[in-house]
Amino acid sequence: MKTVLWAQSEDSLIKDTFVIDGIVSQESSTPEEVYAFHELTVASNRLLLSPVASKNLSEKMGLSSQANCAIKDSSYYIQGCFVEKDNIGRPMPYRFLTKECESFEEAVKRLEDYSTIINRQCKKDDLDILKDLLDRHKSKGFSGVKWVSSLKKKYNSVRPATVCVVVFFILILLLIIWLLMK
């Protein structure tokens, strides 16, 4: 399996759709679907560890909350929502994994081709913003997980609980110094 697209179906009563190496499948848990879902899960776990867009950055850039991607070697994982809505008006999510890819642009092209197979369209703005985020950080000399962790440091550098603990210890230290000087 080189490329897989999972997409929510238009109708909640219909099984979700897989496009595995260009072949559409809506059967019930075939070995190929089970393996494809496993591969998507592994890739999405990578996303949890090193997302391209943190929540804060997503909000600042105008990125949909579902849109994100992760890159490892020549594999690209992209998730987001299609332009189309399901039968009750909800955004329809997708998860996409492609291996042996030269660039993010090539991965997006494959995603768009696979989406066309099932008559769906990806949100162009989300993909453009993800590409912009990748370009910005590559131009700064970062690549892969390194620049993602730098994003986390920049936007999530200090937690409130850490600040409280530090302030508490500083106050205790000042109290001890004050008592010693008395």
pLDDT at residue 116 in the model: 94
Pairwise CA distance, residues 165 & 156, whole Å? 17
pLDDT at residue 37 in the model: 82
Pairwise CA distance, residues 14 & 32, whole Å? 19
**Segments of the chain scoring below 50 in pLDDT:** 142-158
pLDDT at residue 152 in the model: 42
pLDDT at residue 118 in the model: 94
Predicted confidence (pLDDT) per residue in 79-95, tens digit: 888 999 999 998 899 99
The CA-atom distances, in angstroms, between 97 and each of 11, 61, 106, 111, 178 are 23, 24, 12, 9, 61
Among 70, 60, 125, 64, residue whose Cα is nearest residue 92 = 64
pLDDT at residue 149 in the model: 43
pLDDT at residue 161 in the model: 60
pLDDT at residue 109 in the model: 94
Q: pTM for the whole thing?
A: 0.68
